[in-house]
Structure 1
């Protein structure tokens, strides 16, 4: 299964995926954010229709897709690690969750590649690992489902001079954060199920 393929999109439909965990965990001063509610509605619609949500791929997303193979090669050359590709991973204990890590490393590690359009973002990644904090929930969610112990979060920008094109920050598994994710998924999944059941009841009554 190839990431981005029709098969991959179908496998993800109706599931909470790691790339949307930040939306799931987002809050405001008054409570859960609008992005959380939007995610719940999107997942409910996918379960009702059986079809993946139609998403728009902007230029920044296309850039990331195009540069990821170069980022992977640069990472392998720098670290000596061999990245094993993994398209989609699920845990039978959490059937409502699915993740697409950029790569597996040995028995315990993961790698996540980011190729920001903004050079300022890559600079921040080089200076203090800002990219690892920005994608915290995605990375912890991937470690949760794959049962891995660490993840190298990599920012790659070939526009920078040699020696500055890669920013690698290793993030360790955080059980407290993973417990928070589990609780959030459980609550959101119940909300999705309620929406789906309401729609089924309306259909039966029609």
Structure 2
């Protein structure tokens, strides 16, 4: 298993499109006559630059991301306490179908009552208001997409890469001292959405490869990796 944040994890991600960035690839462009938004094109060029430099850069953790990491296992333990399920680490997974994409689900979920392959995506919002919003508004894949397209494409993308049947979206806030501290929804795999995502990712890979070729022959030079957003 390639453990999250390990040196091997960073190496495995070089040049790949990962589920945490699928929302950027799928973001809707302001110009309706183009396929990819400026955010998507930045993500695509960044992947090409990673291959050019053979390196991976990630901005340092901030207070919000540290909070999320510190509470992720607590969230999974609480989820399992409520459901009777178990969880195990997943690590980085490379797609068997499209080798240039991958993901790091927060966990595999083990439900002994079903043969379904299940994963989990955990969010521990730094703002309690966000947790309360997710708890009120997210109850299905449709409402997840409405409230957070970014998380929708992340969960669908993780199911694409892993072959999971469903993904539990979990929001957790330990500052809430009642049973409202956790909210979880079983997000159903959307085959039409996954096919759409696959096609966009294949186009993104083609563009990445063209940009990399331009970098290699000097037609265009990449920015330093820390200059991509």
Tell me the TM-score range normalised by the shorter chain. over 0.9
Which position in structure 1 is the counterpart of 2:185? 169
Instruction: Say whether 1:158 aligns with 2:186.
Output: no
Where in structure 2 are the equivalents of 1:34-183 lying within 5 Å? Answer: 34-106=38-110, 107-129=116-138, 132-133=144-145, 134=148, 135-183=151-199
The alignment yields a C-alpha RMSD, in angstroms, of 1.6
**Structure 2: which 5+ runs fail to align?**
111-115, 220-229
CA distance in 1, matches of 2:58, 2:68: 19
**TM-score computed with the length of structure 1 as normaliser:** 0.93
Structure 2 counterpart SS, 1:164: helix
- 2:80, 2:208 → 1: CA distance? 40
**Deviations for 1:7-35, whole angstroms, at most 9, x for unmatched residues?**
11111111000000000000133143221
Where do 4+ consecutive residues of structure 1 move more than 4 Å? none
> Cα distance, 1:92 vs. partner?
2.8
Query: If the length of structure 2 is used for normalisation, what is the TM-score?
Result: 0.84
Alpha-carbon distance in structure 2 between the residues aligned to 1:123 and 1:161: 13
Deviations 1:59-103 (A, max 9, x none): 111111111111111111111111121111112321100100011
How many residue pairs match? The answer is 203
